[in-house]
Structure 1
Amino acid sequence: MAEQHTPRSLIVSLYGAYGRTPDNAPLPVAELIRLLGVLGVDAPSVRSSVSRLKRRGLLVAARTGGGGAGYALSEDARQLLDDGDRRIYSRTRPGADEGRDDGWVLAVFSVPEEERSKRHLLRSRLARLGFGTAAPGVWIAPAGLHEETRHTLRRLQLDPYVDLFKGEHLGFAATAEAVSRWWDLSAIARLHEDFLATQEPVLLKWESGEAGSAEEAYRDYLVALDAWRQLPYADPGLPASLLPPHWPGARAAEVFTALHERLRDLGERFVRQG
């Protein structure tokens, strides 16, 4: 799972939460420094992280409306964030179908030995998308992830090496038993518990009226989002019937949903006041 709260991760979270506009207007460098500064990130770290994101093709240099230096999202980055929205915010929407048992998507790949670096990249990307390992070279995830998987593999030019299939699990072991082999559910549960340990007190603080400014809302929301947005990738959203009793993911989703509804729009006032 990607490291949380690094300058680069916080910048991605900032663009995801507040940096997308219909005209893809660039965020001024001065604004990036201001908005990351309240999170304890100094200006050199912001500039260094922006440069790395630019080299990765996620940010592009552009002039702001006032002629200043800024950075806009690349087309690939917008697709990446749009795909991420379906995961990150799915449980905040009424009628969300995450966890619905609608079958599985299988990714089967074969990479020539002379291109083994791509084999490693494929494995790491499938794991980051939330796939479990059903067998060597056979990866599995809930069927609802197939579109994002297609986008990701095409963006990385890995699609020639992969075949995708949709289907049902027909045994021989019970599906719940098989799922416990495909994913490390104990490790995923600990990630949810870690999120709750840091973010439940934040929610209680806001519910008790101990905080209230737009700057505080922005700061708390961006940190919560940066922590939460990793979890729907580690936890692919398995049906509840296949999960252990008292699964902490449900409570973690409730806490993030409450923070999102309470803080996101209030935090935007701080973002726009610059």
Structure 2
Amino acid sequence: MINVSEQHAPRSLIVTLYGAYGRFMPGPMPVAELIRLLAAVGVDAPSVRSSVSRLKRRGLLLPARTAQGAAGYELSPEARQLLEDGDRRIYATAPPADEGWVLAVFSVPESERQKRHVLRSRLAGLGFGTAAPGVWIAPARLHEEARHTLQRLHLDPYVDFFRGEHLGFAPTVEAVSRWWDLAAIAKEHEEYLDRHARVLHDWEHRAEASPEAAYRDYLLALDSWRRLPYTDPGLPVRLLPADWPGERSATVFRELHARLRDTGAEFVGL
């Protein structure tokens, strides 16, 4: 049995599985099939069941019956929206264009300060940087996804969005290094490269492609990758250090996706 690290938590792998394959199935994914597919990446049946229960409580999975009457789960409309929003980042095929900035300015009453914490964590999770207390900044293209997320969480009454450009006084390249922890983001890209560049190298030298092996390596690569386009908001290249590893890690993921996704679909049954 494969050892699943903390990075590959069962709940995360289930979301990744639905994002990669499950949402393209003609109906709900049977529980038995979920267990089979997660076993291939080292997750046992009790962990699958408990993780599905948590995702159900969060409103991301809905119980449903297949056409044959088997118990299964399908994505909620909310979960589908989350995955569609994520597609634009996760499967981007080129470095993002420089389209200016979006500012999120929020004010939460002291009596609801817990929502202040949720707002901060959600904006950070969407890739926003901190320009000043209560003022968050991100590339302008992230506005729609941020709007969807805050509306889903009923946090939109506390936030105003603005779009514009940075005019100083510090050069933008210096300001960006204050708004985001670029060293920490670069480290995550390097860690992805350390793990998955070797996987790509191995596949480039394989004579045959096993559907199960392709599925396993793709699901783990995607599960690791899908967080990175949120940690890294995709800043304009002109504002990044010269040795920035982001495009190298993106290239590794794109190559793995091109090589493994469709072959892995055979193991899933698509």
Give the TM-score of the pair, scaled to structure 2. 0.96
**Deviations, residues 190-221 of structure 1 (Å, cap 9, x unaligned):** 00000000000000000011662000000000
**Deviations, residues 141-175 of structure 1 (Å, cap 9, x unaligned):** 00010000000000111000000010000000000
1:169 pairs with one of 145, 166, 172: 166
In the other structure, the counterpart of 2:217 is: 220
Matches within 5 A, 1:50-65: 50-65=52-67
- State how far apart, in whole Å, the 2-side matches of 1:270 and 1:244 are: 41
- State how far apart, in whole Å, the 2-side matches of 1:204 and 1:226 are: 19
CA contact (8 A) 1:205 1:211 kept: no
List alignment gaps of at least 5 residues for structure 2: 1-5
- State how far apart, in whole Å, the 2-side matches of 1:206 and 1:22 are: 27
In the other structure, the counterpart of 1:10 is: 13
Name the Cα RMSD after superposition.
Answer: 1.2
1:231 pairs with one of 215, 228, 233: 228
Amino acid at match of 2:144: E
3-state SS of 1:124 partner = helix
Instruction: Using the TM superposition, name which of 170-179 and 3-12 deviates more.
Output: 3-12
**Deviations, residues 171-192 of structure 1 (Å, cap 9, x unaligned):** 0000000000000000000000
**Deviations, residues 218-238 of structure 1 (Å, cap 9, x unaligned):** 000000000000000000000
Shift in alpha-carbon separation, 1:199–1:147, aligned structure 2, 3 A: same
In the other structure, the counterpart of 2:71 is: 69
In the other structure, the counterpart of 1:156 is: 153
- State how far apart, in whole Å, the 1-side matches of 2:157 and 2:219 are: 37
List alignment gaps of at least 5 residues for structure 1: none
Aligned length: 265
- State how far apart, in whole Å, the 2-side matches of 1:38 and 1:17 are: 15
- State how far apart, in whole Å, the 2-side matches of 1:143 and 1:82 are: 18
Matches within 5 A, 1:256-267: 256-267=253-264
Amino acid at match of 1:31: E
Deviation at 1:22, TM superposition (A): 7.8
Matches within 5 A, 1:244-255: 244-255=241-252
In the other structure, the counterpart of 2:175 is: 178
Matches within 5 A, 1:1-274: 4-21=7-24, 25-91=27-93, 96=94, 98-209=95-206, 212-272=209-269
Shift in alpha-carbon separation, 1:22–1:212, aligned structure 2, 3 A: closer
**Deviations, residues 216-273 of structure 1 (Å, cap 9, x unaligned):** 0000000000000000000000010000011100100000000000000000000007
Give runs of ≥4 in structure 1 deviating > 6 Å. none
3-state SS of 2:244 partner = coil
3-state SS of 2:98 partner = coil
3-state SS of 1:72 partner = strand
